[in-house]
Amino acid sequence: GQQVMQIPQYQHVQEGEDFTTYCNSSTTLSNIQWYKQRPGGHPVFLIQLVKSGEVKKQKRLTFQFGEAKKNSSLHITATQTTDVGTYFCAATNAGGTSYGKLTFGQGTILTVHP
């Protein structure tokens, strides 16, 4: 079945440093979404990317979708302690019907040291 590989698994940064997490798929994706889960919480939707080469920004967060629609990244500039949590990418395959099914990456656990 479809797999989405996400790296790194863990990332420890000092407050103010940048952070990037990457997702890769061996198959072409229809779209990719990003979610954030705070410790003890539930996944919360951040953004959806649909177009090849798409770049979207939300304040300090920058999301990219690869030209081949097989990879994506999330970059946080100047991390803050409020950025702590696990960041997941979640994808649907191209050419099919997904009906509620997202394939999640393993997630990157971000720790920010003040």
Under the rule (CB under 8 A), what is the footprint of another protein?
1, 30-31, 33, 41-45, 48, 88, 90, 92, 96-107
Pick 13 or 102: Cβ nearer another protein: 102
Letter string b/e over residues 26-35, b meaning 16 or more CB atoms within 10 A of that residue's CB: eeebebbbbb
Pick 79 or 110: Cβ nearer another protein: 110
Distance CA 110, CA 86 (A): 6
Pick 38 or 57: Cβ nearer another protein: 38
Number of Cβ within 10 Å of residue 40's Cβ equals 6
CB of 36 to another protein, least distance (A): 11
Q: Are strands 108-113 and 10-14 parallel, antiparallel or unpaired?
A: parallel
CB of 101 to another protein, least distance (A): 5
